[in-house]
Amino acid sequence: MTYSNYIKENRNIEKVSAGILVYRKNKKTNNIEVLLVHPGGPYWQNKDWGAWHIPKGGVDKGEDYLITAIREFEEETGLNLTKNDIKKLRYFCRVKSKGGKLVHIYILEKDFKKNKFGSSKETIEVEWPPNSGIKKIYPENDKVEYIELELAKKKIIPYQLPVLLKLEKVILNSP
């Protein structure tokens, strides 16, 4: 299966996703940073601008959005949420992907330490090079990083930009 066929196939399966946008205030710079993931695999290997995304994943039939968001966050980042973190999660907004998928976003203010970052527990199988018949396994996401909000607005996949803009507005208007 080619990477583009994989994406098309999974877009048709997952019509609703849920995820968690974690943010923190950098103590040195006083700037807001958001935790984003970079997709794995050869297609994304040399792409940075417009490639990063909020950790999220498909909602199983009958599954609660919050349960999905927690599971997918942990799978995609390798980070574990504590019971206290889960109590602090707030539903924030929803956005629609280019393919029509509705993505529900929760937010959490938390400073995960870099040494706690894991790696994606999920993998994807990709035919690479395209049409070669050679299939390889790659991590679903190959990087997890806090990115300063201004830079994140350039790096995030375009349909998720409204989430960052709303976060910025909410933080600027909070006491």
For 73-127, what is the HEC assignment?
A: HHHHHCCCCCHHHHHHCEEEEEEECCCCCEEEEEEEECCCCHHHCCCCCCEEEEE
> What is the average per-residue pLDDT within 102-114?
93
**Confidence band for 44, pLDDT divided at 50, 70 and 90:** confident
SS3 label, residue 45: coil
Q: What is the rounded average pLDDT of the residues 60-73?
A: 94
pLDDT at 80: 92
The answer to whether the predicted template modeling score (pTM) of the entire model surpasses 0.75 is: yes
Residue 87 has a pLDDT of 97
What's the pLDDT at 175?
A: 63
How far apart are alpha carbons 105 and 55 in whole angstroms?
9
**Strand, coil or helix: 33:** strand
**107 has a pLDDT exceeding 60:** yes
Domains of the chain: 3-172 (3.90.79.10)
Interval 142-146 mean pLDDT: 92
CA-based radius of gyration for the chain: 16
Q: Compute the average pLDDT of residues 112-125.
A: 77
